[in-house]
Structure 1
Amino acid sequence: MTEFENDSALFSTLKTELFTAVIGDVLDQMGLTRQFLPAEIAPLVPGTKIAGRAMPVLEADIFDNGHPASNGPLANKPFGLMLEALDDLRENEIYIATGASLRYALWGELMSTRALHLKAAGAILDGYVRDAQGIRDLGFPAFCRGIYAQDQGPRGKVIDFRCTIEIGGVKIAPGTLLFGDEEGVLAIPREAEAEAITRALEKVKSENIVADAIKGGMSATEAFATYGVM
């Protein structure tokens, strides 16, 4: 198994030597066939890569913010626990949120500014972002379903964080390894990450050999029969 000195070395290897397609193929071979988040979740800036540990955030829609008859503990708290969740981000963590409808944005420029100060690795939203140009100018890695300016304030709240969530049938626990590029976002279970990354690095080397063989005139059929990679 490939060993890394620390998580920073692991994340660097993911972003410089690997890509989601090859890790996804390896996870399929390991029987982990549902680890990609929905294809609609893509980088705000094409070509962006993201790698880090999940800090899951659970959202919920609201329809009558602060109604006097409400008994909920978050009824009169703007944004619910969103600010607490944001401030709790740690170095190399990814703020990953789900649970809301597509009626409003879940992330913006000021949140990105705070996350950068905390040395977070980025944000992955099962929804929209706003202040898109500001986020781009900051160079903050954000993956989302698109851009929409409508504010979360009167429409949604964060109701929990550092909890297990699910996006598109993919379970994400606190600390789950997340890796994304312009072709998708993967959640790699902690118990599988060492084997998956080791095998992915080996697969990249094999694919480079196959590419050279095909460039030299070998047929696709012969290449697959010889190397077992395509």
Structure 2
Amino acid sequence: MATGTDILDTIRTRLFTAVLGDVMDTRGLTRQFLPPAIRPIDPDTAPARVMAGRAMPVLEADCCGDVEWRGAGPGGGPGSGQGGGNPFPFGLMLRALDELQRDEVYVCTGGSPRYALWGELMSTRARALGAAGAVVDGFHRDTLGIRKLGFPVYSHGSYAQDQRMRGRVIDFRCPIEFGNGVRIDPGDVVVADIDGVVVVPADHAADIVALALEKVEGEESVRQMIERGERTEDIFGKTGIM
């Protein structure tokens, strides 16, 4: 099975979240879907192809006021050994955004639903860097501007309240965990479509994609059996697919 960008291309063109989730269930990876409240920015016009990329996890935290954190100099700051002080009221958010790489997905959790975690200018920067999309465990804003950009964003919905003075990024490229127990590590494969967002652990990605391709082929055979008028109970007995 191909690796790297070939895996992402295969997912984008031939697979979808449901089949990946089904295959992971059979391999004991049963808690891989993010909360169902996380949806595409506009379900009615979601792209036909799925969004897929490597996770750049981002950890948010609530705060109160526009107070800067001041580090202890080189090596003294938080954030994956980034070091130094932090002169920005958004914490490490701008640094995390600037360090997005091609085909990465900005995946953020940790704050409360009192403010937006993503917006149009962030989408503009992420798209310019070749990022695959953004998935936030909270709200986005600037909906019309993001729609015009066509940048894939998945969130709990739209809410215009700014995160400045209310939340800040405290770390990135670190393991994070969503409220439903789904863990995301840097480099995991994040796949999203109109049915939800699923995470494929990096160590299992090649095997899961290969098995998902087999399942898609099997489902096509089952569809043909149904169209021929066969009973679904009999079909499942023969194929184990439904």
Q: Alpha-carbon deviation of 1:193?
A: 1.1
Q: Alpha-carbon deviation of 1:228?
A: 1.1
Query: Residue 214 of structure 2 aligns to a residue in which SS?
Result: helix
Which residue of 1 is the match for residue 24 of structure 2? 27
Give the whole-Å Cα distance in 1 for the aligned partners of 2:65 and 2:7. Answer: 45
Deviations 1:150-194 (A, max 9, x none): 001111111111111011211111111111111111111112111
Which residue of 2 is the match for residue 99 of structure 1? 110
Which residue of 1 is the match for residue 215 of structure 2? 203
1:65-214 maps to which residues of 2 (within 5 A)? Answer: 65-66=66-67, 77-167=88-178, 168-214=180-226
Which residue of 1 is the match for residue 34 of structure 2? 37
Give the whole-Å Cα distance in 1 for the aligned partners of 2:229 and 2:23. Answer: 27
- Percentage of pairs with the same residue: 52
Give the whole-Å Cα distance in 2 for the aligned partners of 1:200 and 1:10. Answer: 12
Equivalenced residues, count:
225
Question: Amino acid of the residue matched to residue 51 of structure 1?
Answer: A
Question: Amino acid of the residue matched to residue 126 of structure 2?
Answer: A
Divergent runs of 4+, >6 A? 70-76
Give the whole-Å Cα distance in 2 for the aligned partners of 1:170 and 1:130. Answer: 25
Query: Residue 146 of structure 1 aligns to a residue in which SS?
Result: coil
* 8 Å CA contact retained: 1:65, 1:75: no
Q: 1:216 aligns with which of 228, 234, 239?
A: 228
Matched, 1:12 2:9: yes
Q: Alpha-carbon deviation of 1:76?
A: 6.2
Give the structure-1-normalised TM-score: 0.93
* 8 Å CA contact retained: 1:51, 1:177: yes
Which residue of 1 is the match for residue 80 of structure 2? none
Question: Amino acid of the residue matched to residue 13 of structure 2?
Answer: T
Q: Alpha-carbon deviation of 1:45?
A: 2.5
* 8 Å CA contact retained: 1:24, 1:36: yes
Question: Amino acid of the residue matched to residue 154 of structure 1?
Answer: M
* 8 Å CA contact retained: 1:66, 1:76: no
Give the whole-Å Cα distance in 1 for the aligned partners of 2:234 and 2:104. Answer: 44
Q: Alpha-carbon deviation of 1:195?
A: 1.2
Give the whole-Å Cα distance in 2 for the aligned partners of 1:190 and 1:85. Answer: 21
Give the whole-Å Cα distance in 2 for the aligned partners of 1:165 and 1:36. Answer: 14
Give the whole-Å Cα distance in 2 for the aligned partners of 1:135 and 1:86. Answer: 16
* 8 Å CA contact retained: 2:107, 2:135: yes
* 8 Å CA contact retained: 2:55, 2:187: yes
Question: Amino acid of the residue matched to residue 224 of structure 1?
Answer: F
Give the whole-Å Cα distance in 1 for the aligned partners of 2:42 and 2:100. Answer: 22
* 8 Å CA contact retained: 2:53, 2:105: yes
Gaps of 5+ in 2: 72-76, 78-84
Give the whole-Å Cα distance in 2 for the aligned partners of 1:16 and 1:99. Answer: 32
